[in-house]
Amino acid sequence: MSSIDALESWTSNLKLRSWIKQKIELCNPDKVHLCTGSKDEHQHLINTLISTKTIVALDPDLRPGSYLARSDPEDVARVEASTFICSESKDDAGPTNNWEDPRIMREKLSALFKGCMKGRTMYVIPYCMGPLDSKFSHIGIEITDSPYVVCSMRIMARVSTKVLDVLGDEGDFIAGTHSVGVPLKDGKADVSWPCNPKKRHIVHFPTTKSIWSYGSGYGGNALLGKKCFALRIASVMAKEQGWLAEHMLILGLTNPEGEKKYFAAAFPSACGKTNLAMMNATLDGWKVECVGDDIAWMHFQEDGKLYAINPENGFFGVAPGTSFTSNPNAMYSLRKNTIFTNVALTDDQDIWWEGMDGKRPDHLVDWLSQDWSPSLGSKAAHSNARFAAPANQCPIIDPNWENPKGVPIEGIIFGGRRAHNVPLVYESLDWQHGVFLGASISSETTAAAEGSVGKLRHDPFAMLPFCGYHMGDYFKHWFEIGKKQGLSLPKIFCVNWFRKDCKGDFLWPGFGENSRVLKWIFESVQGQDVKEKSPVGFIPRLNSLDVSGLNISEKHLKNLFEIDAQEWTHELGELKNFFTLFKDRLPQEISQELESLEKRLAN
């Protein structure tokens, strides 16, 4: 529906109507488009994006219904320095978030958004995070002036007028207002990827549960259902309502006897969630199925078990490194109806990136729209180039991926990108120790966020950039769960695929071979006698990790599990120092666990 006159037939929700009217008043768009999520609408927007050269169509035989977008080189990743949690008091945002007084921020935003859509169309997107028929799902409305965002949201979330039916007259929604921040004054010509990097603001108001995003059109900055809503705002809702909103993949694992268990795993951005979530297990008879690759909303239900839904509808995956060798199921997922951003274009109008299978092409058009040949030595695709592909195109999508109840989680896995010290896999001693392990995750930074790459930083629960409130209170929320009566708590594990040898090569083959680690985790959850105690937690007993058929020496295996007391004492010091950040909001359980670890290391 392309006119504001249609507002009354589009929604009966008075709150929504009045919110949209306010935003029109503020942003002053030339046109308003109330989205329906239909195919025709999608095609119309695709045509618009082709005409503005924001996207190019890929060869319809090679890549049906798929497009390549190239962003502004200044707008290629999440911007953590410009991301704010504007709680009432600074203390409620905590030491790991940027904060600004909500009153001052509202004034800033009013100034930024005033007239920001001049010369543009304002799109209003109704979307649902989670299956429409699940009581754990939540509705969002995103206002944006980017048709690229509308087309991407249609893949990543459930965008449809059915959402408005569920919302009804009285329902509530998470309000997100987004603008690329480039008004078109007096018929001024547009650029292919409008953005305003100097004025970027990604702002969350946890009190009113609203989101404002200005100046970026890329990924998590602009597709507001994803990180802004499903993690930052949802983590606040989860804390208030007693559930969990986490940066976790969800997978089902079936053993050769046909027994199936579900696991959730938190790794920081670009640390292997998508790859693990849809892996082809190399171990005979073992099968992985994918429920989600980035976000899990989890609730304890009447039977005391923890159930997870994937609030998303698509994968916004890292392109470089994705291949039929490393992740065939991702390659099948993106064979059609996919929007690629910042990958390279081949001469036959298909996509290419570093790490793809087969021969490297001799000529490409790179992500900067320049002619590219191998002799240039530059990367043809940006390191944070991504694909947005519908989840139902994944060949191993789990039959329960849209089950409104969710899937029962029996194990939680934490991980990071650690070149040194951290063993391939270990298990927590109990829930409290497991929560401590989650809180203690550090990882090398990646291209998923702007800034330096490869720098080791603390990233508790892989939620450092995504926790919408004080991280100390977040730890407490997790500890409290362990104290409730009558819950069957999942077991907690840590993994590290990224340990390196002295030459700098990965010690572990990773990808499909990670099924060996999943098998060990599965057997431990079953209660099999596969583990023994180490100072950091339970590690696999000798010969209990299945390395059959892997060409891996005893020494190599030893290196993968080595726990160097001196290095770990250093690690402990680092952790102690990190946790002082949280001052009086640091749960005493963390101090207890630090002490226990110190004792175990000393023995």
Residues with active-site annotation: 271
Yes or no: say if 149 and 178 are a contact pair by the CB < 8 Å rule: yes
Residues 245 and 206: their CA atoms lie apart, in Å, by 14
Least distance to ligand SPV, CB of residue 278, Å: 15
SS3 call for 544: coil
From the list ligand GTP, Mn ion, ligand SPV, none, partner contacted by residue 317 (C-beta under 5 to 8 A by kind): ligand GTP
Binder to ligand GTP among 29, 194, 292, 321 (CB under 6 A)?
321
From the list Mn ion, ligand GTP, ligand SPV, none, partner contacted by residue 382 (C-beta under 5 to 8 A by kind): none
From the list Mn ion, ligand SPV, ligand GTP, none, partner contacted by residue 469 (C-beta under 5 to 8 A by kind): none
Binding residues with ligand GTP: total (CB under 6 A):
22
| Cβ closest to ligand GTP, residue 506 vs residue 528 | 506
x-or-dash string of contact with Mn ion, 278-317, rule CB under 5 A? ----------------x-----------------------
x-or-dash string of contact with ligand GTP, 501-520, rule CB under 6 A? -----x---xx--x------
Yes or no: say if 334 and 45 are a contact pair by the CB < 8 Å rule: no
243: how many CB neighbours lie within 10 A of its CB? 20
Told to check if 497 binds ligand GTP by CB under 6 A, we report yes
Total count of residues recorded for the chain: 603
| Cβ closest to ligand SPV, residue 318 vs residue 409 | 318
SS3 call for 17: helix
Dihedrals phi, psi of 34, to nearest 5 degrees: -90, 110
- Residue 588 DSSP symbol: H
Looking at the DSSP bridge assignments, the partners of residue 465 are none
Residue 457 makes CB contacts below 8 A (sequence gap 6+) with: 442, 443, 444, 445, 464
From the list ligand SPV, ligand GTP, Mn ion, none, partner contacted by residue 67 (C-beta under 5 to 8 A by kind): none
x-or-dash string of contact with ligand GTP, 406-445, rule CB under 6 A? ----------------------------------------
Indicate the residue whose CB is closest to ligand GTP: 510
Residue 323 makes CB contacts below 8 A (sequence gap 6+) with: 331, 355, 356, 357
| Cβ closest to ligand SPV, residue 26 vs residue 79 | 79
SS3 call for 266: strand
Residue among 77, 41, 374, 89 at smallest CA distance from 200:
77
For β-strands 158-159 and 31-34, DSSP reports them as unpaired
Least distance to ligand GTP, CB of residue 148, Å: 18
128: how many CB neighbours lie within 10 A of its CB? 24
Indicate the residue whose CB is closest to ligand SPV: 220
Binding positions for ligand GTP, 226-285, rule CB under 6 A: 267, 269-275
Told to check if 388 binds ligand GTP by CB under 6 A, we report no
Residue among 272, 275, 578, 271 at smallest CA distance from 454:
271
From the list ligand SPV, ligand GTP, Mn ion, none, partner contacted by residue 497 (C-beta under 5 to 8 A by kind): ligand GTP
Taking CB under 6 A as the binding criterion, the range among 159-167, 320-328, 424-432, 589-597 that sits at the site for ligand GTP is 320-328
Taking the chain, what is the end-to-end CA distance rounded to the nearest angstrom?
A: 70
Looking at the DSSP bridge assignments, the partners of residue 500 are 506
Residue 590 makes CB contacts below 8 A (sequence gap 6+) with: 436, 439, 475, 579, 582
Binder to ligand GTP among 94, 131, 317, 468 (CB under 6 A)?
317
DSSP-based helix, strand, coil % in the chain, nearest 5? 35, 25, 45
From the list ligand GTP, ligand SPV, Mn ion, none, partner contacted by residue 224 (C-beta under 5 to 8 A by kind): none
Least distance to ligand GTP, CB of residue 321, Å: 3
From the list ligand GTP, ligand SPV, Mn ion, none, partner contacted by residue 272 (C-beta under 5 to 8 A by kind): ligand GTP
Binder to Mn ion among 269, 275, 310, 446 (CB under 5 A)?
269
Yes or no: say if 327 and 274 are a contact pair by the CB < 8 Å rule: yes
Told to check if 443 binds Mn ion by CB under 5 A, we report no
Residues near ligand GTP (CB under 6 A) are: 267, 269-275, 293-294, 317-318, 320-321, 326, 448, 497-498, 506, 510-511, 514
